[in-house]
Structure 1
Amino acid sequence: MESGLPTNRNEGHGVPKDGSWFSQFRNVSNPWMARYVYAVIFLASNLLAWAVRDYGHNVFPEMEKLKNCRGGRGCLGAEGVLRVSLGCFAFFFVMFLSTARTPRMYICRDSWHSGWWSAKIALWIALTMIAFLVPTFIVQLYGEIAHFGAGVFLLVQLVSVISFITWLNDCCQSDMISEKCRMHVVSLATAAYVICIVGIIMMYIWYAPEPSCLRNIFFITWTLVLIQLMISVALHPKVNAGILTPGLMGLYVVFICWCAIRSEPAGENCIRKAEESNRTDWLTIISFVIALLAIVIATFSTGIDSQCFQLQFRKKEEPAEDAVPYGYGFFHFVFATGAMYFAMLLIGWNTHHTIKKWTIDVGWTSTWVRIVNEWLAVCVYLWMLLAPVIRLRFRQTSEAA
């Protein structure tokens, strides 16, 4: 058997004598190493979806013979991406159902999460193949649901990023290291504000070269206003959140704004070099690869960050000695919604959209999704700053009454 219940703790999650990754995957239940296997499976689904979209007719000609494919129209292009995404989603949703609320290590569900790789890889392949056999209307229905699921993924990722920023700020302001980190915090915050200003200026130069580019001018100017708003609230005496978090959040919203404008379709006069030839160059390919890897890394990093959600609703408690290192159910839930998210990026959030080869997340729908995500990020951050002040004010009013 590939994995079973360990006879003792050292056997269950220790490192083998040879220390090889392969031995850890095959011979022991190691939840920390298991994360990378799931990330590889997720990356393989991303690559398969891209291959089906861009090169399906050449790489997978046998699909055209399937009854549901209607000569390839139902299994290649945008619908092919949805079918691959459906298979990936089904796999991680099954894993979510089978590992949710796993209380501790060294039990069957922990072993299932961290081992049995041959069985799980076979399950993933089988579900992906089944996805190409289901009727078209089910795939189209999944495509509509995937819009919502991708939005959930963006929201979860957003909370995770903001929680990390606030956690970093709390660490730097703690009594133990506040004096040592003071110069580091000032330097990091200064660098963040400088990069934000340079980024805003460069976006004006690249994406708003003419006064007629009202849409891009609005996006960029409003981003600048939001950064100023975050700084003002964070530095308010009643909030006193410091200078670091608004700087890092400024970097985040500038990045989202840049991604949003970059998602605008080619041919717009307000995007320089957009009128160039449609040929695929090395820069386009590199950008695509980086974007694809960014999806996997974002999903991976968000999936192991379940604590930032639990602590919003529970009182912080010391974890048990044999507690799981991260929430298995939450981990697979994030990957399941991530499967919907990469499908939306590859088809431009439009199930009937034909997208150019070697491109990702292009289209007006993609642009507005990014912009709304930016605005939502600012709202969530401001709420996390103001909520303690509001609760304190409400408590004082209640006590006075």
Structure 2
Amino acid sequence: MLEKKTLDFEKAVLIGIINQEQDEEKSKEYLDELEFLAYTAGGEVKARFTQKIDTPNPKTFIGSGKMEEIREFVNENDIGTVIFDDELTPAQQKNIEKLLKAKILDRTSLILDIFAQRAQTSYARTQVELAQYQYLLPRLAGLWTHLERQRGGIGMRGPGETEIETDRRIVRDRISLLKKKLEKIDKQMETQRGNRGALVRVALIGYTNVGKSTLMNVISKSDVFAENKLFATLDTTVRKVVIGNLPFLLSDTVGFIRKLPTQLVESFKSTLDEVREADLLLHVVDISHPNFEEHIASVNQILEDIKSLEKPTIMVFNKIDNYEHETIDEDDLVTEKTTKHFTLEEWKQTWMNRAGEDVLFISALNKENLDEFRKKVYEEVRKIHITRFPYNNFLYPEYEEGL
């Protein structure tokens, strides 16, 4: 199912909604992220459309007036792809395709497409293919263009239905086969994790595109692929790292994202197992992103879902070299100061201060404050190590500069 192809930029438009749960500002944030997803997949966004609507239209998701506005823009500008920020039902997708005569994607299918492009190893490709088939199964009927002959046909419905059912069975069989294949690989990976011995395990976690792979490269002196795009790496990379004379295992995991498709959470179970089995989490945050607090909340929600929220965690605020804030003129008595006006020093005095010593501010790219980072990681790994090996803790003294 996965195909490697050279992507030309496709002209696309984005569609989001504004409702009680998602105000105008929140909708803009989601569409900003959706545009980055589209760019990562090979798309060029030509326009955005939003509509205030409490309940999505069961037939077309958005209202008929807005749909007509989008249809005109699509026709006049030769748009080939229309991307919705929320997941569409199979019926909605089919109806919208008929109206717009364009390729219709939602956030889930877009993320699945990016994962398909990024999957490098056989294991990652199997995980993505399983997720794709699970997403495809309820949408099969809408894909059968040759079933258009059913429209007026007495006596023509049976063969069509039979053909769909046949293909549903093929897809179900494929899903079953892929699940068995993943179970086998998962057992092999579980054995590999067991064979790593009693070394302390540290996992890099965080939202996608926060700089985990860059930090991994700096710490482990390895060459993990890193790029300023979403989901640059899918496969978990594990390296043996030594700080001072203290060895431990460091893993770089797939980035999280808001509205992460449930199919991917299930398919990437083994990747999440690296997080579950870690002794220490390094939660990397892109502090230069205006919505980094939401990113933290999204990651924490997934950690809670996989019962890993209570693990020892160091918050690593990365990209301090990119951090910018809005300034307010001292004479401005109208503008209310909000978090977007905070300097880094002011951020450090907020809830981050309550986290105590488990908060670090670094730039992995420019290697700023990495000595402080190494010291903190050394100290935390050492605490775990000496409880595991109480008789040889003399081998690992307190951290000294230059280790």
TM range, smaller chain? under 0.3
TM-score under structure 2 normalisation?
A: 0.26
TM-score (normalised: structure 1): 0.26
Structure with the higher helix share, 1 or 2? 1
